[in-house]
Copies of this chain bind each other. A is one copy, B any other.
C-alpha cells in the first residue's frame, strides 16, 4: 500500500488539520467529536444544513462547507459512518434558530446514526428534519444499504438546498427542495480499479487486468455486472441508458449533467466521458443546461467515473446558479 499518509489511524484527523490550516477563511474544525463548520456558524434565522458520512469520498462533505452549501460536515472513519454524537454536536453548532436539516446518503449506518442524532437533538429542543438521498439506479439493495444507495445527487442536493437555506426559507421548504432534487436525480458509476482502505491495507475488491465493474458503489460495493474493458463510448452508454430510462428523462427535458471522477481518474478522461454523454443526451433530445465535471464524490484512489443527471426546472436552476463559497465549489462570490 503506497499512500501519502502517516499512520492509517491518523488519516482522518490529519486531513481535518490540513483542511483547518488551508481554509481558515471558510471553516472552523472541531475535534472530538469531529466536525467541520462554517466559519460564521451559526447563521441567525437560517436553516442549518448538516451532512456527513464515512471519509474517503473527499471533497464530499467537508469541502462543501461554506456560504451557500453546508453549515457542517461530520467525517467518520474511512468508509464508516460518523457517530450520532458528532451529528448532534454539529447540529447544535449550526442551529441559528430556524431548525436543522440532515442530508443523509442512504447507507444503513448513516441513516441509523442520523436518526438517533435527530432524536437526541429534538430532546434538546432543536427542530430537525431529515432527507435521505437514494439516487443510484445500479442496484436495489446493496452491501450496506436497503433500497438505493446515495451517490452523486448528494452533491447537487447539498448545493441546491444550501442555496434555498441561504435565502432564509423555512425548514419545511428547504427539506422539500432537497427531496425534489432526490426525486429528479439519478446516478450510476463504474470502476476501472479498486481502492485500498488505509487501515485494511489491501484492495477492497479485485478486478482483472481487462475487467471493469459497471454499477460500482462508492465503497466498492458490487455493481450490476463485470464486463471486459470497453471504450469510453460503450461505458458511457452502459451508465447513461439505465439512468435515462429510470426517471425517465424525456425529449425536451432540461438537465444538469454531472460527470464525476472516482478519485484516481485523470481529468482528461472525464472530459472524454462528458463528450460521449453530451452526444447521447443530444440524440435523445435531452438538453444539458448546466454541467459539473470533476471529482466531487470519490472512493479514495479508485479509477472510474459516475454519471448523474438532474432534471432542472426554473427553481432548481436558479438555486444551482446562486453564489457558493466552499473549498470545492465556488462561484458568484
Q: What is the size, in residues, of chain A's interface with B at 8 Å between Cβ atoms?
A: 64
Q: Is the interface of A mostly helix, strand, loop or mixed?
A: mixed
> Among residues 182 to 214 in chain A, which have CB atoms less than 8 Å away from a CB atom of chain B?
192-193, 209-210, 212
Whether the Cβ atoms of A4 and B273 lie closer than 8 Å is yes
Residues of B contacting A11 in the complex (Cβ-Cβ under 8 angstroms):
268, 272
A22-B291, A330-B331 given; A14·B301 CB < 8 A: no
Whether the Cβ atoms of B15 and A305 lie closer than 8 Å is no
Q: List 9 A-B contacts (CB under 8 A).
A: A14-B271, A14-B272, A15-B268, A19-B271, A21-B275, A58-B271, A263-B267, A264-B303, A295-B295
Q: Does A63 contact B (CB under 8 A)?
A: yes
Would you list the 8 A-B pairs with minimal beta carbon distance, nearest first? A18-B271, A18-B275, A4-B269, A18-B274, A58-B267, A15-B271, A21-B278, A264-B264
Whether the Cβ atoms of B5 and A231 lie closer than 8 Å is yes
Q: Does A283 contact B (CB under 8 A)?
A: no
Q: Does A59 contact B (CB under 8 A)?
A: yes
Other A-B contacts than A5-B272, A266-B300, A301-B303, 12 sampled, CB-CB below 8 A, are A2-B229, A2-B303, A4-B270, A12-B268, A15-B268, A15-B271, A18-B270, A23-B291, A58-B268, A264-B264, A264-B265, A266-B301
Whether the Cβ atoms of A265 and B22 lie closer than 8 Å is no
| A288 CA to B332 CA, complexed, in Å | 25
A272-B14, A275-B18, A301-B303 given; A59·B6 CB < 8 A: no
A45 to chain B minimum Cβ distance, whole angstroms, is 26
| A267 CA to B288 CA, complexed, in Å | 28
Q: Does A123 contact B (CB under 8 A)?
A: no
Per-residue CB contact flags for chain A residues 136-169 toward chain B (1 = under 8 Å, else 0) read 0000000000000000000000000000000000
A18-B273, A275-B14, A288-B21 given; A4·B265 CB < 8 A: yes
